[in-house]
């Protein structure tokens, strides 16, 4: 334990701090006894005051840990109660105030009884709401309870409004104009008509009607609330109508102008054959069962029931809030040690796409907004495969605000709960500041998302990281996104309104782990990791130095000599199936940009007909892809090496080894020159899967001893 003097000092400190010990040392006490003990015969050797034996007998008193305080909350309680089981609080806001009085010196557990907790406004958790001085605050379901935190209200009083068309109506508060409703826990569609793209000609002011059959649109009332939606190869774009005059559909700006530049635009999608166009949100479009229309001026909601639905007994929920929960401190004082267990988050509607900005989707929740400087004179002609004005805006893309937002926070846990019936991305972790109600973004560290169910969502399930320069090269360490664990979650039926969003997306993060999740029923990708297409990696990307793109010619678009924070990402043991049901682009598991230490291993991918299983897109480097099983796809591995750019190199130094595949092929340049290697991968014929492949299949997905409760 060190020198004799050091042991003396430790013992003296322990003894002088003990109750009753004199704080006035004697002269002998002040001496430094760095001398050998007296040379006495062994029989007469006294116990050394500072010997090892005495030190071993010292019992250092431990301050007893106070038991946690338990606060009870019930929808049938009262905020005049004391939070005890006998007199529970009624609202989460009252419980939150009580936590702040108790969490300084002990753990606090807020126990929620069964029922629905309807919020008048979002819950906002700052540093004062988390655990203090190493303590913990946990919001949890009571035994056997399924508490629901809801941002919506039930709609009742339905009456038959149009017997010929089978349309019913109910009263709602005037002025309420949501983008979603749910009927019997299932998302209903706004009134929508699909139209042929060939019926219109596209301009920077809007759309020209060239098929006379559609000129009746000029007679549709409330034209400013009509929306144009276009899906392409990887985008889902939304823009609002200003007015319809004869054969001219004049669109609201800047949303329309932002939707016709870049890549895969409404006016010029990557693939005309797969692009689709819709007119949305007019009573005249309400024709199909399961669709609805709201008239905010009249305060009325119209709905055409699906087969078997009885609106006399149906549960119809209209969302009132655009988000439910914000968890955000500051970079100097983050929220710490806050947990949610067994809690369900439901019913929101993000409304910004219903305004002049629309939703100029770029990919997976990122979108273009605002007036772009140096907008091209002929945007459809000159900026449908990128241009300088578009590249100047790339580092300023915004992100869709999630229903539950986490930023500037450490040791946050969501476990055993549910994220359902939400009108956007469900859970945002360390996203842009513009995607956070708090105005603070990024800075999410040691966040865990385990054993939850994500279902019936308008957007993706989980979005981690931001897309701005502060996200990929944080100016201070506290702004980084690090150590995010996503495991044993079931994710299904997501991205129903914003189809271009991956179920799980990680943009820039250090050591994110995506482990043993089950992902299914998505229009786009299952799991995406990485962002930036290689432009922010050391040395930049030669593909973006072309005269057409000119990315690095634009102010603020830097060539970095240091890596981004994306590294050591792990995608392991997931089961990804029945994804990519809408788009040809992307992959069941998809990766972008350099990721030193990145690992994609032992995942089971199947039932993606015509699609790509494993996709290493632009700039993917330093990845190991091993022991995955890929079945029923068109391409089992695609490496986008940008062959038009050779001999310049982008995606390189990647290894795919020991994978099993059936009904697929590898695509991309896999050569020694690029150091992209295929090693010992096995094509399986028929049903004769090797034992190793079968073991991966069986182990993939949710581990049964740690499955979601719901």
pLDDT, one tens digit per residue, over 147-156 is: 999 999 999 9
Q: Are residues 154 and 315 in contact, defined by beta-carbon separation less than 8 angstroms?
A: yes
Please check whether residues 585 and 518 belong to one and the same domain.
yes
Please check whether residues 44 and 81 belong to one and the same domain.
no
The least confident of 2-6, 109-113, 489-493 is: 2-6
Q: Distance between CA atoms of 605 and 664, rounded to whole angstroms?
A: 12
Segment (H or E) for 361: strand 360-363
Average confidence (pLDDT) over 373-386: 95
Q: What are 58's two structure tokens? A: 């010292």
Final residue before a domain boundary, out of 91, 121, 150: 150
Please check whether residues 668 and 546 belong to one and the same domain.
yes
Residue 598 lies in a domain: yes
Residue 238 lies in a domain: no
Please check whether residues 8 and 121 belong to one and the same domain.
no
Please check whether residues 615 and 543 belong to one and the same domain.
yes
Is the model's pLDDT at 43 over the cut of 60? no
Residue 120 lies in a domain: yes
- % pLDDT > 70, the chain: 90
Average confidence (pLDDT) over 519-547: 97
3-state secondary structure of 51: coil
Please check whether residues 146 and 43 belong to one and the same domain.
no
The chain-wide mean pLDDT, for the chain, equals 92
- pLDDT for residue 177: 97
Give the model confidence (pLDDT) of 223-267 as tens digits. 999 999 999 999 999 999 999 999 999 999 999 999 999 999 999
Q: Dihedral (C-alpha) 271, 274, 279, 284: value to the nearest 10 degrees?
A: 150
Residue 162 lies in a domain: no
Average confidence (pLDDT) over 342-358: 98
Please check whether residues 24 and 100 belong to one and the same domain.
no
Segment (H or E) for 182: strand 181-183
- Which is nearest to 425 in space by CA: 442, 440, 403? 403
Please check whether residues 22 and 90 belong to one and the same domain.
no
The total of structural domains in the chain comes to: 3
Q: Distance between CA atoms of 9 and 20, rounded to whole angstroms?
A: 19
In this prediction, residue 139 has a pLDDT band, given cuts at 50, 70 and 90, of very high
Is the model's pLDDT at 40 over the cut of 70? no
Please check whether residues 101 and 13 belong to one and the same domain.
no
Full-prediction pTM beyond 0.75? yes
Using alpha carbons only, what angle is made at residue 679 by residues 678 and 682, rounded to the nearest 5 degrees? 95
Q: Distance between CA atoms of 354 and 254, rounded to whole angstroms?
A: 13
Average confidence (pLDDT) over 303-315: 96
In this prediction, residue 413 has a pLDDT band, given cuts at 50, 70 and 90, of very high
Residue 493 lies in a domain: no
Average confidence (pLDDT) over 34-43: 42
Q: 480: which residues sit within 8 A by CB, 6+ positions away?
A: 442, 443, 445, 474, 509, 510, 565
In this prediction, residue 312 has a pLDDT band, given cuts at 50, 70 and 90, of very high
Is the model's pLDDT at 183 over the cut of 80? yes
Residue 217 lies in a domain: no
- pLDDT for residue 33: 36
Sheet holding 206-209, edge to edge: 192-195, 276-280, 227-231, 236-245, 248-251, 206-209, 200-202
Residue 679 lies in a domain: yes
Residue 10 lies in a domain: yes
Please check whether residues 9 and 140 belong to one and the same domain.
no
Phi, psi of 115 (to 5 degrees): 130, 180
The parent domain of residue 85 ranges over 71-150
- pLDDT for residue 664: 86
Average confidence (pLDDT) over 637-644: 95
Give the model confidence (pLDDT) of 120-136 as tens digits. 999 999 999 999 999 99
- pLDDT for residue 663: 82
- pLDDT for residue 25: 37
Please check whether residues 48 and 79 belong to one and the same domain.
no
**Better-predicted residue by pLDDT, 71 or 30:** 71
Please check whether residues 47 and 145 belong to one and the same domain.
no
Tokens 């937002």 sit on residue:
405
């Amino acid at each position: 334990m060190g020198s004799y003097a050091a042991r003396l000092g430790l013992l003296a400190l322990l003894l002088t701090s003990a109750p009753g010990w004199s704080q006035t040392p004697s002269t002998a006490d002040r001496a430094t006894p760095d001398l050998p003990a007296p040379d006495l015969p062994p029989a007469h050797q006294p116990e050394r005051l500072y010997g090892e034996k005495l030190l071993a007998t010292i019992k250092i008193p431990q301050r007893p840990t106070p038991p946690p305080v338990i606060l009870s909350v019930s929808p049938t309680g009262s905020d005049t109660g004391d939070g005890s089981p006998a007199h529970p609080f009624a609202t989460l806001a009252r419980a939150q105030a009580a936590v702040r009085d108790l969490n300084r010196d002990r753990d606090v557990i807020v126990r929620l009884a069964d029922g629905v907790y309807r919020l008048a406004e979002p819950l906002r958790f700052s540093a004062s709401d988390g655990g203090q001085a190493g303590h913990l605050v946990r919001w949890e379901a009571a035994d056997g309870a399924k508490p629901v935190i809801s941002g919506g209200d039930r709609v009742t009083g339905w009456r038959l409004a149009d017997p010929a068309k089978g349309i019913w109506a109910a009263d709602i508060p005037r002025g309420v104009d949501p983008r979603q409703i749910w009927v019997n826990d299932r998302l209903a569609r706004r009134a929508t008509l699909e139209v042929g793209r060939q019926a219109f000609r596209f301009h920077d002011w809007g759309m020209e009607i060239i098929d006379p059959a559609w000129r009746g649109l000029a007679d549709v009332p409330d034209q400013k609330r009509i929306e144009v939606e276009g899906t392409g190869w990887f985008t889902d774009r939304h823009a609002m109508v200003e007015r319809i005059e004869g054969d001219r559909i004049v669109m609201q700006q800047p949303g329309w102008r932002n939707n016709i530049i870049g890549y895969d635009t409404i006016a010029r999608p990557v693939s005309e054959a797969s692009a689709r166009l819709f007119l949305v949100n007019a009573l005249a479009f309400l024709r199909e069962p399961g669709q609805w229309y709201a008239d905010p001026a009249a305060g009325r909601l119209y709905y055409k029931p699906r087969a078997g639905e009885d609106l006399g007994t149906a549960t119809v929920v209209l969302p009132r809030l655009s988000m439910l929960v914000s968890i955000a401190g500051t970079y100097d004082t983050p929220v710490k040690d806050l947990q949610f267990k067994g809690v369900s988050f439901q019913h929101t509607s993000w409304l910004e796409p219903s305004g002049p900005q629309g939703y100029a989707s770029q990919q997976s929740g990122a979108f273009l907004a605002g007036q772009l400087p140096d907008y091209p004179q002929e945007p459809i002609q000159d900026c449908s495969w990128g241009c300088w004005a578009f590249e100047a805006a790339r580092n300023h893309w915004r992100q869709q605000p999630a229903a539950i937002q986490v930023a500037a926070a450490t040791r946050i846990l969501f476990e055993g709960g549910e994220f359902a019936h939400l009108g956007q991305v469900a859970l945002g972790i360390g996203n842009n500041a513009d995607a956070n109600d708090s105005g603070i973004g990024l800075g999410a560290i040691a966040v865990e998302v385990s054993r939850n169910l994500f279902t019936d969502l308008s957007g993706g399930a989980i979005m981690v990281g931001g897309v701005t320069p502060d996200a990929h090269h944080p100016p201070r360490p506290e702004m980084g996104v690090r150590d995010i664990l996503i495991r044993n979650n079931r994710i299904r039926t997501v991205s129903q309104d914003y189809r271009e969003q991956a179920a799980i997306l990680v943009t820039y993060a250090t050591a994110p782990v995506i482990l043993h999740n089950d992902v299914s029923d998505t229009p786009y990708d299952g799991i995406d990791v990485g962002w930036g297409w290689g432009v922010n990696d050391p040395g930049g990307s030669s593909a973006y130095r072309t005269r057409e793109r000119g990315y690095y010619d634009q102010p603020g678009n830097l060539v970095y000599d240091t890596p981004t924070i994306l590294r050591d990402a792990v995608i392991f043991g997931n089961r990804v199936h029945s994804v990519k049901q809408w788009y040809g682009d992307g992959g069941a598991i998809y990766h972008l940009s350099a990721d030193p230490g990145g690992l994609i291993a032992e995942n089971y991918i199947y039932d993606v007909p015509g699609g790509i299983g494993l996709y290493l897109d632009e700039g993917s480097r330093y990845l190991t892809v091993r022991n995955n099983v890929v079945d029923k796809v068109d391409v089992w591995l695609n490496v986008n090496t940008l062959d038009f750019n050779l001999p310049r190199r982008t995606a390189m130094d990647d290894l795919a080894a020991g994978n099993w595949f059936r009904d697929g092929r590898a695509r991309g340049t896999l050569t020694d020159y690029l150091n992209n290697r295929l090693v010992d991968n096995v094509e399986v014929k028929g049903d004769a899967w090797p034992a190793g492949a079968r073991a991966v299949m069986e182990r993939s997905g949710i581990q049964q001893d740690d499955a979601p409760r719901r």
